[in-house]
Amino acid sequence: MLARCGWRRLAPPAAARSERRRAGSAAPRYEVVVIGGGHAGTEAAAAAARGGARTLLLTHKIGTIGEMSCNPSFGGIGKGHLMREVDALDGLCGRICDVAGVHYKVLNRSKGPAVWGLRAQIDRRRYRDGVQKEILSTPLLTVREASVEDLLLTEPETNHPGKCQVTGVVLGDGSTVSAGSVILTTGTFLRGVILMGLETHPAGRLGDQPAVGLAQTLEKLGFTVGRLKTGTPPRLAKDTINFSGLEERVPDNPPVPFSFLSKAVWIKPEDQLLCYLTHTNLKAQQIVLDNLHLNDHVRETTKGPRYCPSFESKVLRFPNREHQVWLEPEGLESDVIYPQGLSMTLPPELQEQVIRSIRGLEKARILQPGYGVQYDFLDPRQLTASLESRLVQRLFFAGQINGTTGYEEAAAQGVIAGINACLRVQGKPPFIVSRTEGYVGVLIDDLTTLGTTEPYRMFTSRVEFRMSLRPDNADARLTHRGFEEAGCVSQQRYEQAVQMRAALEDGIATLKSLQFSISKWSHLVPEVPISSNRRSPLSAFDILRYPEANMEILARAIPEPLRKLAEWRELSERLKIEAAYEWCVVNQQQEIEEVRRDEALRLPEDIDYFAIDASLSAEVREKLNSSRPQTIGAVSRIPGVTPAAIINLLRFVKAEKLKAFPQTGKHSSGKMYLKKATSQTPISSEISEEELGSTFVKTPL
């Protein structure tokens, strides 16, 4: 039966209504239904199916599943970490990129491995075909072409927050599909509008219709809806560009794969394609300034991406500068060039003037003009850390609908939403990645705790524990949990991760067991400048910390037992990184444990911040009610919530626990730690009132 839950649902045809009212309706039933076939949707659907849920993926066009709507690249600084973590949970994008890339490059090489950014130019067609092949062959996963216009709702479960629960979806033809959980990954399609110059027309992407009915349903359900914008540059004909004289950007040799399962990428190093760098100039700037009146997208107050702005936004924010334009290939056999950094929404004839004012592009032909997209997104503070809605039970959100930008951010949310939608149906606890465990944990915590007013992009600078959360160890951090708790990791990947973990432990133990004096080490490895100030003896693991040292050098000096360690390339590289960061990781571990203690102090899901008897200002109550933090650690990261307010909230929660368990006379055990860069003072539950006021500090970001 369809329950109204206090809201009117868009009425489907009468025949569909009467059929749905009958007990035992013939509507097909799936455990998880995913709406949208983009990067979030494909990862969500595949993750749910891997977890054992009978899953349905609904998309407007099967042929656009896996489509790279904007730039032909994956990864980058911060984004490459997300891809490694998605891969560690057996996600798709890393493996597909390893068989679709045409130019692989690790960014940030001048810095330490903890902040290296794996990146690749991708062949659009190969990537799309690879994703479709994977999705269409995944067991328990069905794909269907259909639009979704509405949600089926019923009374809420009493043991979870929410005004009602979703039980299925209403398709564009009026038919229904029943579901145990529903995941929305609508990208830019919620009331999407494309803008080019002064022209606008409804679309979520060029050539695809927007999702209007679903947007109206979410608004009627009481979700807080915002508006964001993004854009894409014009596409250029490769044979009309003069590359001579432009700066070449060569790929890595050998290329570094994204996936832990890949021994190497599909393409030979010498067959990779080049990228080229050119720059805008003052002539291009003047064309923009003279024609702002012809550009509705730029004049709109809707927020666009701060870190990937349109060319018009760059001109307005950073005038009288040259701006980089990367000319990127779209595939091995493609004749299309993507001018990264030239997103524009000027009328097509003016876009052509801008393009032809740039060196190397004087005769370039535009194959498709650039355009802007404006779309609805939902305030992600309405979600829990599992990405389930607080308003509607069993309804999950992932991707740009949560206010993010980028394929990688979407994929990371998708895999987490897919896992948790599956676990929700199975009645198991949610799979939560904390900000001490992964970049995806930081991403989701930032969104669900702080929200966003502009498209959110992942950076390494957002992460407190960068030395521990590296690209090389994502499998050690997440694969075991994905296998044991989420059931989304294959036996093959799990066994490989177990083998690597054991090999690392044995390798580190072996290296630490080989100890010699400084003079002997200087004789064994003369190419390594060992400091005479070091305390003797030194282990081989100590020597490996030096930048000049590696496993190959050590194996030449001490063939047994180090030769076998050096011959395993992946192990050799990871041992080097482990040695370089050991002292940082040890130092960070105490801070990580302090944050985890904060995260263990959970707040009641149904707490009414406006009604509780605690000394909290009206402003703090509003912030807490808006963000709905799940832990004391999350409270400490909300801007404007004072340390005193946190103490008073903690005191109230502990008092309530005492009332709930009066026979024990106890409350939450352990000590609470809230981190400050210069202070790690433990705060005991028995601390005095005076100490509470003087020592409690907020966790800074």
Q: Residue 72's CB: how many other CB atoms inside 10 A?
A: 24
pLDDT value at 689 more than 50: no
pLDDT value at 387 more than 50: yes
Structure tokens, 563: 């030769």
Structure confidence by residue, pLDDT tens digits, 123-175: 999 999 999 999 999 999 999 999 999 999 999 999 888 999 999 999 999 99
Compute the average pLDDT of residues 91-97.
98
Compute the average pLDDT of residues 16-37.
67
d(CA 191, CA 671): 48
Instruction: State percent of the chain over pLDDT 70.
Output: 89
d(CA 269, CA 540): 33
Structure tokens, 609: 């911040």
What was the pLDDT predicted at 671?
A: 34
Could you say which DSSP state residue 485 is in?
A: I
Q: 30 - beta bridge partners? A: 179
Structure confidence by residue, pLDDT tens digits, 621-637: 998 988 888 888 888 88
What was the pLDDT predicted at 659?
A: 73
pLDDT value at 660 more than 70: no
377 alpha carbon, distance to own chain's centre: 16
The band of 1, judged by pLDDT with boundaries at 50, 70 and 90, is very low
d(CA 580, CA 376): 45
Compute the average pLDDT of residues 594-614.
85
pLDDT value at 11 more than 60: no
**Strand ranges across the sheet with 101-107:** 73-75, 117-122, 101-107
Q: Residue 93's CB: how many other CB atoms inside 10 A?
A: 31
Q: 177 - beta bridge partners? A: 169
C-beta of residue 370 within 8 angstroms of C-beta of residue 197: no
Nearest to 228 by CA among 164, 176, 122, 303: 303
Report helix angle 282-290 to 348-356, nearest 10: 160
Nearest to 508 by CA among 535, 475, 545: 545
pLDDT value at 17 more than 50: no
Output the CA–CA distances (angstroms, integers) from residue 259 to 115, 304, 473, in the order listed: 17, 31, 12
What was the pLDDT predicted at 535?
A: 81
Q: Domains of the chain (ranges plus CATH)? A: 30-226+375-485 (3.50.50.60), 235-372 (2.40.30.260), 510-598 (no CATH), 601-658 (1.10.150.570)
Structure confidence by residue, pLDDT tens digits, 272-301: 999 999 999 999 999 999 999 988 877 655
What was the pLDDT predicted at 301?
A: 58
What was the pLDDT predicted at 451?
A: 92
404 dihedral zone (left: phi>0; alpha: psi -120 to 50; beta): beta
Whether this prediction's pTM lies above 0.85 is answered by yes
Compute the average pLDDT of residues 392-420.
97
104 dihedral zone (left: phi>0; alpha: psi -120 to 50; beta): beta
What was the pLDDT predicted at 662?
A: 61
Which 3 state secondary structure label does DSSP give 368?
A: strand
What burial letters (b/e) apply to 205-238, b meaning 16+ CB within 10 Å? beebebbbbbbebbbebebeebebbbbbbbbbeb
What was the pLDDT predicted at 147?
A: 93
Length of the chain: 701
What was the pLDDT predicted at 300?
A: 59
Which 3 state secondary structure label does DSSP give 317?
A: helix
Structure tokens, 567: 């011959």
DSSP letter for each residue of 599-639: HHSBPPTT--TTTS-S---HHHHHHHHHH--SBHHHHTTST
> Which are the contacts of 543, defined by CB distance < 8 A and separation ≥ 6?
521, 525, 528, 530, 549, 554
The band of 111, judged by pLDDT with boundaries at 50, 70 and 90, is very high
Mean pLDDT for the chain overall: 88
- Please report, as a single letter, which amino acid is at residue 576: K
